[in-house]
Chain A
């Protein structure tokens, strides 16, 4: 031992015991892709059932299990771990650190995830079926009326909460203590900034989620009545606690995506990011505001008017820093020497579609209007515009953008562009019509619907199959790149790319920045 310049260990042991941030990042990315496929399969079952009105394929109870698991797997299994994987790969390389601050804890935070999700998925085969109360698991549906498998669901949430908290502590410790000399906070790439702030959000609210499921556990098994009116508790309390976690959670999902887009758009505009400092402050204000808007998910529970108004105005306020970001991205592209490689296409797709999602969010934030929109497909359309076209598109862009650096091989550009266009069109066919059926009153989370919604639902289902199928193309492209892609050796794979990760050899060696880099004026 002693020699730190060895390469990776061989065999399965490399992956089980690795403390290397790149290996762990890779595992996170593959794991989240697997979860993306699993959650996607659930979505295909949902859309197949909704292809036509009437009960076609599955039992209503099973349908509810599908909507629940789809949401849980996508949010906690696909989106969140994928960005943690990206953070693992990129943060050390972007700040000139040799690894994460706590490599062993890093290994743990990854390796407790697969058992957690195995536990969650195993509920499908249990007596009474998997959780069927929606990904928001409102009490008393998730307590008094839940299938016995709910206990496994609770422990699964505990496990992935612990994993997220460990991962975030690691990221904060890395960013605060391991930056290369001269890498001041205001010189950090935006991706590092957004992740730093996200990690603080996670440390603050994942314990709240853990608290909520712990209370459920106690209500179910130990005779407490936090959420049971019979014993003096209150089910509405559950919603407050859940959304106190839940709204910051949606920013946990989107902030790293903002970071990715802020790296990629300048690279393909060949201009520095417009308004760097305002981006940092906007991110911080979004994070702060996210703590005081949670009850916009609960306008219909019977809050006093003062409460409705407070949460309405606070929510609308979030549109201001969000608008700052959108305008900064557009201004970055303005008069840039633009080129439209796949990562840039996904970022532009992100920009357009996320903005639409932001606007529908504003519509939903209007308390009196939300009484009509609440729990309809309009909400479903809103959050898929921000989470799929927002988070997932930006994640896809990130993979195309950094894959050549990671693997030393170039993906097939034509196939990438085809993937983008099929995704873009498929996504919109799926979710745009959902605005209309939602406004017309189609409730969410139902296996059957009134006849007047039939055409739009069929469109949605066709779009979903297209979007789903295009991910197979993505998988193929990535695999083909890793195995037999055209070799690239330029340090700067993209001519417009800026940042320390583009100063190291391609493919990125197993160990980087064991000696801290010197920041030259160009990176200052």
Chain B
């Protein structure tokens, strides 16, 4: 296809199109593709950000998986943040409940966001959360504390060699981010 009768102009127009397309490629292909791939393959230890709807399935009482919980504060986050229990033994297919403790020691109202990560990352797609405080931002008044619920099911299809799953949460301070968004509205 010729974009111009002048061969030089033609070459330039085509190449300029390619470079604009490559710029767009980063935003409209690479970013979504990365997220889709990570979700689909469960790499990066990312778990789904949506609640899982439990399906009827037999509880595999013959197998016991240790699930460990880790809570970390991101840089500069002043909250106290820890799991109520640090490890529990669960059967694949069974629903389990636990809670995380959070306290805001400052005098300001703050908003936090917890970001989960599962290790080994292969286990991420078999770790289903039916309810999680990480699905929403967590507002907490100054000098108060709360218990944040987590409900999860370990899939029956979890590869046999995985005996321990570690679920780690990093807590980010998103107060400024949220107030920016409100101000922008």
Contact = CB atoms under 8 A, between A and B. Distances in A.
B38 A234 contact: yes
B53 interface: no
Contact of B22 (A204, A302, A307): A204
A226 B30 CA distance: 11
Nearest to B38: A234
A230 B30 contact: no
A229 B23 contact: no
B172 to A, nearest CB: 3
Contacts of A203: 15, 18-19, 22
A207 B115 CA distance: 31
B26 A230 contact: no
Contact of B7 (A177, A212, A223, A307): A177
B52 interface: no
Chain B interface size, as a band, is 35 or more
B174 to A, nearest CB: 6
Interface string B166-185: 00001011100100110010
A237 B34 contact: yes
Contacts of A205: 22
Interface stretch (A128-136, A165-173, A412-420): A165-173
Interface in A376-403: none
Chain A interface size, as a band, is 35 or more
B122 interface: yes
B177 A231 contact: yes
A352 interface: no
A11 interface: no
B168 to A, nearest CB: 12
A173 B30 contact: no
Contacts, number: 97
Contacts of A303: 43
A229 B49 contact: no
Given A212-B26, A232-B49, A236-B44, A102 B31 contact: no
Contacts of B136: none
A302 B44 contact: yes
Given A226-B31, A229-B170, A304-B43, A207 B26 contact: yes
A172 B15 contact: yes
A206 interface: yes
A176 B11 contact: yes
A211 B7 contact: no
Interface in A146-184: 165, 168-169, 172-173, 176-177
Contacts of A177: 7-8, 11
Nearest to A218: B27
Contacts of A212: 26
Contacts of A226: 31
B16 interface: yes
Nearest to A175: B11
B21 to A, nearest CB: 8
A241 B23 CA distance: 11
Given A169-B16, A231-B177, A207 B38 contact: no
Interface string A221-252: 00100100111101011001100100000000
A172 B74 CA distance: 48
24 contacts: A102-B8, A169-B19, A173-B8, A176-B7, A176-B11, A207-B19, A208-B26, A211-B22, A211-B27, A223-B180, A223-B184, A226-B31, A229-B115, A229-B170, A230-B177, A232-B49, A237-B34, A240-B30, A241-B30, A244-B30, A303-B43, A304-B41, A304-B43, A304-B121
Top 4 A-B residue pairs of the complex, sorted by shortest distance between their CB atoms: A211-B26, A230-B172, A207-B22, A207-B23
Interface of A: 101-102, 165, 168-169, 172-173, 176-177, 203-208, 210-212, 215, 223, 226, 229-232, 234, 236-237, 240-241, 244, 302-304, 307
Interface of B: 7-8, 11-12, 15-16, 18-23, 25-27, 30-31, 34-35, 38, 41, 43-46, 49, 74, 113, 115, 121-122, 170, 172-174, 177, 180-181, 184
